[in-house]
Chains A and B, each alone.
Chain A
Amino acid sequence: MNLSNLSVGLSTYLLVGAMLFSLGLYGVFAKRNIIAILMSIELMLNAVNINFVAFNRFIWNQKIDVHYILTGHVAALFVIVVAAAEVAVGLALVITIYRNRQTTNVDEFNWLKW
Chain B
Amino acid sequence: MVGTVVFFIFAIMAIAAAWGVVTSKNIVHSALYLVLSFFGIAVLYVLLNADYLAAVQLLIYTGAVSIMIIFAVMLTLRGEIRESNPENRSWGWGALVSFLVFIVIALVVLTNTDWRVLPTPWTSGGSAADLSLLLLTKFMIPFEAAAVLLTVALTGAVILAKGVKESK
Contact = CB atoms under 8 A, between A and B. Distances in A.
A102 interface: yes
A95 B77 CA distance: 11
Given A22-B102, A88-B154, A104-B76, A53 B53 contact: yes
Contact of B27 (A19, A21, A33): A33
Given A39-B30, A43-B21, A70-B134, A95 B14 contact: no
A88 B67 CA distance: 11
A85 B131 contact: no
Interface residues of A, number: 77
A37 to B, nearest CB: 10
A67 B76 contact: no
Contacts of A22: 98-99, 101-102, 105
Nearest to A43: B18
A31 B88 contact: yes
Interface in B71-109: 71-73, 75-76, 78, 84-88, 90-91, 93-95, 97-99, 101-102, 105-106, 109
B96 to A, nearest CB: 9
Given A10-B115, A67-B137, A91-B157, A80 B88 contact: no
A31 B48 contact: no
A30 B27 contact: no
Most central of A1, A16, A69 by chain B CB within 10 Å: A16
Given A27-B21, A57-B49, A85-B153, A35 B72 contact: yes
Contacts of B134: 67-68, 70-71, 73-74
B138 interface: yes
A42 B34 contact: yes
Nearest to B94: A29
Given A30-B95, A92-B158, A18 B90 contact: no
A46 B38 contact: yes
18 contacts: A8-B3, A23-B15, A23-B22, A26-B22, A36-B22, A36-B85, A39-B30, A50-B41, A53-B53, A57-B49, A59-B117, A70-B134, A73-B53, A77-B135, A78-B146, A91-B68, A95-B160, A98-B75
Contacts of B37: 20, 43, 46
Contacts of B125: 69-70
Given A73-B126, A74-B139, A29 B18 contact: no
